[in-house]
């Protein structure tokens, strides 16, 4: 049995235009903390908790403190150890949608441009790349545009299969554009649209293959995110408290039934959210997994 560590970060952005209502993220942290202690045997002394309602400056979720805490989480990780936004233009070419997913530290606006944000490429380098085979990291991102926040190369569907880039969907819109151009007598425009479509499909395939080559890991890393990359994560009001909808759904279903497989858990979270919210939680992994295995944290 290995060591367990947990890093919990909740930012309410107090006193700013982006302030969240009702201590939402602070409540999420307290909920997850209790969840990890009571259901999975984590110890409070093995947790680092960063929230922007604390007086200790080292416990404020600034950019520097978040990076230091991420480094602490994976430092000297060994086999059997376990641990527990926004978007900007992608500069490295590893994103199909052309944007890097990010998190916003409490002091992000004190940096020039977007440099105060922590991008998914950096979070992958901080949290995933240092982990050895046999080490497990479970990550939960209940933040906007968080679908691929750790740049893990395998995304699973609710049917338990690995999702592939939807080339047929992309092809459909491109063919429609080419067809409309041809129908209007614009032969050159139709040819141009078809050539652009072919280039887009090839680039998309190359990006997927490159991500799997570069971002796979022998460590067992599984991330649950609150939504897809192009969606936002909703606020919720549950039991009289403000909370993140995905955080609430995740902990609620596991408290009710802790003996769920990874596939069952993804479906359970989506089922809880389906009637009230449009967001679609995602499950990403560092390598292919048996989704029928029991979820462990």
Which sequence positions are flagged as catalytic? 84, 144
Six token digits for residue 94: 């590893």
Write the DSSP string, the chain. Answer: ---EEEEEEE---TTSTTPPGGGHHHHHHHHHHHHHHHHH---GGGEEEEETT-SSGGGS--HHHHHHHHHHHHTT--TT-EE--EEEE-SSS--TTSEEEEE--TTGGGSSTTTTSEEHHHHHHHHTTTPPTT-EEEEEE-STT-TTTT--SEEE-TTS-B----HHHHHHHHHHHHHHHHHTT-HHHHHHHHHHHHHHHHHHHHHHHHHHHHH--SSEEEEEESS-TTS-PPEEEETTEEEEHHHHHHHHHHHH-S--BHHHHHHHHHHHHHTT-----EEEESS---TTSBP--
Would you say 225 and 270 are in contact if contact means Cβ atoms under 8 Å apart?
no
Contacts of 127 (CB under 8 A, 6+ apart): 70, 73, 74, 137, 139, 150, 221
Query: Can you name the residues that pair with 283 across neighbouring β-strands?
Result: 156, 224
């Amino acid at each position: 049995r290995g060591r367990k560590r947990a890093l919990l970060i909740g930012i309410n952005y107090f006193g700013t235009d982006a302030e969240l209502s009702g201590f939402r993220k602070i409540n999420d942290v307290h909920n997850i903390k209790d969840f990890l202690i009571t259901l999975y045997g984590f110890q409070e002394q093995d947790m680092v908790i960063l929230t922007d309602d604390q007086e200790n400056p080292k416990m404020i979720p600034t950019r520097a403190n978040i990076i230091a805490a991420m480094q602490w989480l994976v430092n000297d990780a060994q086999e059997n150890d376990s641990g527990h936004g926004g978007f900007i233009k992608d500069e490295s070419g590893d994103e199909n949608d052309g944007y890097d997913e990010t998190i916003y530290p409490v002091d992000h606006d004190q940096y020039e441009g977007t440099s105060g944000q922590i991008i998914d490429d950096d979070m992958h380098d901080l949290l995933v790349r240092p982990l050895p085979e046999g080490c497990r990291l479970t990550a939960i991102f209940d933040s906007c545009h968080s679908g691929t926040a750790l740049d893990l190369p395998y995304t699973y569907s609710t049917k338990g299969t690995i999702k592939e880039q939807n080339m047929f969907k992309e092809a459909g819109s491109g063919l429609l554009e080419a067809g409309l151009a041809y129908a209007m007598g614009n032969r050159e425009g139709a040819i141009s649209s078809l050539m652009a479509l072919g280039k887009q499909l090839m680039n998309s395939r190359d990006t997927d293959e490159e991500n799997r080559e570069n971002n796979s890991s022998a460590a067992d890393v599984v991330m649950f995110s609150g939504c897809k990359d192009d969606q936002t994560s909703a606020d919720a009001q549950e039991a009289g408290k403000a909370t993140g909808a995905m955080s609430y759904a995740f902990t609620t279903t596991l408290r009710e039934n802790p003996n769920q497989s990874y596939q069952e858990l993804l479906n359970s979270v989506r089922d809880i959210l389906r009637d009230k919210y449009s967001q679609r939680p995602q499950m990403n992994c560092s390598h292919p997994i048996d989704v029928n295995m029991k979820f462990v944290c």
